[in-house]
Amino acid sequence: MSRLALLPLFFLFSLHGCDAQSQPLPHSEKLSAEKVEAIAQRINDRYPDLSGKLRKQILATVVRSLDNMVFIEGGEFEMGDFGTLCQYDPANMGTWPYGQEPERLCPITPERHDDYLHQVRLSSYYLSRYQTRLEDFDLFRTSLGLALFDADLREREDLQELFHPDKPAWTESWQEAKDYCLWVRELSSYPVDLPSEAQWEYAARNRGQYVQYPTDTGSLDYGRNIPADKITDELPIAQFAATPLGLYDMAGNATDWVNDWYAENYYQVSPLENPKGPNMGTQKVRRGSNYQETMWMSANTVRRWNDDLNRSRHLPGTSFRCSLQSDTPL
């Protein structure tokens, strides 16, 4: 083939690269245009072989992930099962300790690994307003060259709602959740990670207040700030009222993986300053509750789930949200 014949092909490849670079940058509510441009360049450098369309989608996802971060001012609180009335109305919780002496209250959960109250002092940080969407999780997997999970099922017309792009991401393992947050970290150059268990509870309790349910009122109003009991499927994110801090779905739809290893007695040995869980273990911690449960029993702010690192397949009901481990403005 002559050199002249190769020119049109070379020209097309050049246009493809230029087109990827010349796409308009997404608007960000928190990042300057220069910071968005730096993220775009980082994505182009990291994924030179991906199409311009995919790189544009990744850029939008990373920028949106940072825009969705809610600043959580640090402070000190008493972490663990702080107690509730032995008989109470979940729709009208009132103010803790409900006119009782705290020591006369009953446990919120029947679990024994969350009933050791201990002081925790946290630095300020950011927590995502939303759980990670299935569509963004799919894009992450695509960027790694992985096939969509359950690709055959997604082709079925009768299952389209099951895989709605705005539903919480389905995870097969804790590591997938961790890797997604680290992916955003790598591409954004911000310290994104899973939150610690203490950070999750502090935020769910509106900066450590004695709030039993992570809703806008601290009570359960079915259909307005929490799903109905034992619904048959996950719902898209942000269908119900946010907490006072502006966080959605802290209970009732899907649980959140957190960074911590699990140990039954960890609360008894937890340090005061920014606890991060045991140094090692065989299980990780999830917080919140999922759509399959009875809300008044499970959708509280103190319940802990210890779970194996891996499951047999991707399943709904176990998701995650990322955090930003920094106290400085974006």
DSSP class per residue in 36-87: HHHHHHHHHHH-TTS-HHHHHHHHHHHHHHHHTEEEE--EEEEES---B-SS
Reading the chain (330 residues) residue by residue, the pLDDT tens digits are 444 343 343 333 333 444 444 568 999 999 999 999 999 999 999 999 999 999 999 999 999 999 999 999 999 999 999 999 999 999 999 999 999 999 999 999 998 889 899 999 999 999 999 999 999 999 999 999 999 999 999 999 999 999 999 999 999 999 999 999 999 999 999 999 999 999 999 999 999 999 999 999 999 999 999 998 878 889 999 999 999 999 999 999 999 999 999 999 999 999 999 999 999 999 999 999 999 999 999 999 999 999 999 999 999 999 999 999 999 999
pLDDT at 229 (0 to 100)? 83
How far is residue 105 CA from its own chain's centroid? 32
Contacts of 215 (CB under 8 A, 6+ apart): 221, 225, 226, 240, 241, 243, 251
Question: Alpha-carbon distance 256 to 247, whole Å?
Answer: 13
Do residues 123 and 317 make contact, with C-beta atoms less than 8 angstroms apart? no
Give the relative orientation of helices 174-188 and 52-67 as an angle to the nearest 10 degrees.
Answer: 100
- Residues paired with residue 306 on neighbouring β-strands, in sequence order: 285
**Separation in Å, CA 259 to CA 72, 145, 177, 306:** 17, 25, 9, 12
Peptide bond into 8 cis (omega under 30): no
Question: Alpha-carbon distance 136 to 321, whole Å?
Answer: 12
Question: Alpha-carbon distance 27 to 257, whole Å?
Answer: 30
Backbone angles phi and psi of 84, in degrees to 5: -145, 175
Contacts of 315 (CB under 8 A, 6+ apart): 170, 171, 172
Question: Alpha-carbon distance 126 to 184, whole Å?
Answer: 14
Do residues 126 and 71 make contact, with C-beta atoms less than 8 angstroms apart? yes
Produce one character per residue of 254-267: b if its CB has 16 or more CB atoms within 10 Å, e if not.
bbbbbbbbbbeebb
Question: Alpha-carbon distance 167 to 150, whole Å?
Answer: 15
- Residue 183: which H helix or E strand, with range? helix 174-188
Q: Which domains does the chain have, with CATH numbers?
A: 62-324 (3.90.1580.10)
pLDDT at 5 (0 to 100)? 41
192-193 and 323-324: which strand pairing? antiparallel
Chain segment 4-49, per-residue pLDDT in tens:
343 343 333 333 444 444 568 999 999 999 999 999 999 999 999 9
Tokens 């020209």 label which residue? 11
Which residue from 65, 69, 16 is spatially nearest to 44, judged by alpha carbons? 16
What ranges make up the beta strands (E) of the chain?
Answer: 69-72, 75-79, 118-122, 125-128, 171-173, 192-193, 255-261, 283-287, 304-308, 310-315, 318-319, 323-324
